[in-house]
Amino acid sequence: MNRFNTLMLRNILYFVCLLSCSVCAQEIDTESVIGASTQEDNKLWEGAKKAWRDDIQFHGFLSQGLFSTSGNNVYGKSKNSVSAGLTEIGLNISYRALKNLSFAAQGLYRRAGATTGDAGEVTLDFGFVDLNLLNLQEGRIGVRGGRIKNPWGLYNETRDVAFTHPTIILPLTYFERSRTLMLATNGGQLYADYNTSLGNLSFKFNYGWVNADDKNILTAITYDPTASGHLKSKPSFATQLNYEMMGGTYIFALSYADLSMSYQAKNSGDPYAQMKANIEAFMVSGQYNGETFSFVGEYSLRWSEFTDIRLGVADTSPVSEYWYVQAGYRFVDDFQATLRYDSAVQNINDKSGQVFHEKTGLPAQLTFTHDITFGLRWDITPVWMIRAEYHRVHGATTINLLDNPDFSKIVKNWNIYALQVAFRF
């Protein structure tokens, strides 16, 4: 009996070996078949590819979102309805003119609910000249001048490129309604990379003017949609130190930003004429990117200082706190699930918003948000992706006030269902 068992075991092993051999062979076959079938297509492309100089590259992205919510609106009229209010299209060109000199620019078309209106907006997302001062195998140092993306946490620099972040709606710390503030700097950037056997350090320092001229930011500060002037940036800076280990398996980052702006009145009787705002913020980021699991955590504190703001605002120097923890699981290479707990508190001295409510008469939920997100993402091909997500939201501190103009009707507990399809090249 024992001998029989051993024989059986050997036979099974024999079979498994044969099977794996044939699988190996099959893999090779499929590859060569695929290679042959695409060869003709390649010839068609060959001409087009050769027409471009190899120091010039074009890339772009496109995404369309669908949103349905209860309680409050996101990206247009999504409440008890469906809104197709988020469209992002980007096209960029980069030109490596010399070994140490290159140019890059990206145009962005964005349609995002009431902020941009139905027609959407076209902006220059970035456009700069890059001068590389030192380039060694151990690292490099250089400067960029023009409009440069701001480093802030793990996702801000590519926040409009759907492929580059895990969920349709970014974590609350990326404050969607005041996104224009953090987007880019018109000015200069100093950058330095240092590569060691233990990991790669990267440092960026942006100095210049940010885009503060946004109705959403003004409304978020004043809670007054009738304010007729606009905000203008004063010299500001954003900086980040990033450390990546094991090819990006572990990523740590420290970000700091100091943004200043002042109110530009349209007419003489404007009650906000003397208003100024200063925002200082830091963020600590940590990420683990494994083969199947990924974990992300980011913690951020923001000190705001509003001077000469109209009476009625609860606190002219609130300290805001944002953090989230996120876990991702890849079932297979192209299919992943994400779960996140996200928290935002506008004023850590008034976490429930009670003081704010008493002083302003506005709903307390305008001062906090706690959001549980569950999302699924399928990368159909390397260039096409589709994803869906659900948010259970408690609070409304980060909602777009232009999409929800009646502040008294802002709801505390609500849901977001979202779907997005995206393309990149």
Partner 1 sequence: MRLFFINRYIKQKRLKSLLLCISLCLNAQAVDATEVIVSANAVGQLKNSHKLQAIFSLRTLYWPNGEKIKVFVLPDNNAVHKKFVKEKLGMFPHQLRRTWNRMTYTGTGQPPITVDSIEEMLDKIQHTNNAIGYIDRRVEGESIQYFNAP
Q: Which residues bind to partner 1, rule: CB under 8 A?
A: 7, 10, 13-14, 17-18, 20-21, 24-25, 27-28, 30-32, 34-36, 38-39, 41-42, 45, 54, 57, 59, 61, 90, 92, 94, 96, 99, 104-106, 126, 128, 130, 135, 137, 144, 149, 157-158, 161, 163-164, 191, 193, 195, 200, 246-249, 289-291, 330, 333-334, 379, 381-382, 424
Nearest distance in Å: CB 198, partner 1: 13
| Measured distance CA(149)–CA(158) in Å, rounded | 8
Q: For residues 189 and 193, what is the distance between their CA atoms, to the nearest angstrom? A: 13
- Three-state DSSP at 76 gives coil
Cβ atoms of 263 and 229 closer than 8 Å: yes
> Distance (Å, rounded) from C-alpha 89 to C-alpha 268?
40
Instruction: Please list the residues that pair with 384 across neighbouring strands.
Output: 423
**Nearest CA among 61, 82, 62 for reference residue 418:** 82
State which residue, 195 or 278, has the beta carbon closest to partner 1: 195
Nearer to partner 1, 182 or 314 (CB): 182
Question: Minimum Å distance from CB 348 to partner 1?
Answer: 32
| Residue 137 CB, nearest approach to partner 1 (Å) | 6
Minimum CB distance to partner 1 smaller for 137 or for 226 = 137
Six-digit token string for 242? 């990033």
Q: Which of 403, 411, 413, 406 is nearest to 76 (CA)?
A: 403
Partners of 335 in the β-ladder: 332, 378
End-to-end CA distance of the chain: 63
Which backbone phi and psi does 365 adopt, to 5 degrees?
-65, -5
CB of 85 to partner 1, least distance (A): 22
